Amino acid sequence: MSTKTLKYETSSAKSLVRDIMERSGQNLLACYQCRRCAAGCPVGEETGVTPDRLIRMVLLGEREEALNNLLVWQCVACYTCGTRCPNNIQTARITETLKQMSKEAHLEPLKPRIADFHTSFMKATEHVGRFNEIEGMGTYEAKTAIKELRKGDLQAVIDEMMGQAKLGMKMMKKKRMHFKVDKVKNISEVKALYRKAKQGKGA
């Protein structure tokens, strides 16, 4: 959390709140900071940001911090906060929205692996319509390895590869690896939905 004095700019705060409310479908203005969400958040302690704090940041117009803090990336979308919120605010929808806004603003995610995983998952799904574990994991591992090598962090790449190899061997031994690629026959329909998403004609 920031310790600097907060500057409150009414107009920019208003536009940020409006934007997030519209995209997430959540009424942030209903939050009265009871912190029931904070009590149930499984990652609040480690991220240092609980759902109530995140909402407060947005309401105060702290754009940069709201778009890129650990809760935005490490929220596991367990929906505990929203289920317990007396005002029915689903903060996991807010973190989902903030992740998308952060990407649109070309911010470097605080947790690049998490961002890369979801992008790789969607790429793999777009390709054949179903998520094939080997293809999806391969794309993801390659993506993160390139980034880490660029940063000169060879050790991180080695650790990751060793860990994945160990799990892979275990799965092979138990016949849990599947090499057959599962495909959607009518892939043009799936691709049409992806196209529509890219044109921004959707939700």
**Tokens 């390709």 -> residue:** 127
* 177 scored as a contact of another protein (CB under 8 A): yes
Rg of the chain's alpha carbons, rounded to an integer?
20
* 113 scored as a contact of another protein (CB under 8 A): yes
How far apart CA 89 and CA 82 sit, in angstroms, is 5
How far apart CA 13 and CA 90 sit, in angstroms, is 20
Q: Please say which residue, 9 or 22, places its beta carbon nearer to another protein.
A: 22
Among the listed residues 79, 109, 145, 156, the single contact to another protein using CB under 8 A: 79
Joined together, the tokens standing for residue 184 give 């959607």
User: With CB under 8 A as the contact rule, which of the stretches 31-39, 53-61, 147-155, 180-188 interacts with another protein?
Assistant: 180-188
Residues whose CB is less than 8 angstroms from the CB of residue 77 and which lie 6 or more positions away in sequence, other chains included: 92, 95, 96
* 151 scored as a contact of another protein (CB under 8 A): no
Among the listed residues 3, 5, 11, 186, the single contact to another protein using CB under 8 A: 186
* 162 scored as a contact of another protein (CB under 8 A): no
Among the listed residues 96, 107, 109, 157, the single contact to another protein using CB under 8 A: 96
56 contacts 8 by C-beta, under 8 angstroms: no
Residue 99's nearest CA partner among 80, 78, 114, 120 is: 114
65 contacts 57 by C-beta, under 8 angstroms: yes
Chain residues in the site for another protein (CB under 8 A) = 23, 25, 42-43, 46, 74, 76-80, 82-83, 88, 90, 92-93, 96-97, 99-100, 103, 111, 113-114, 116-119, 121-122, 125, 129-133, 137, 140, 163, 167, 170-171, 174-178, 182, 184-186, 189-190, 192-194, 196-197, 200-203
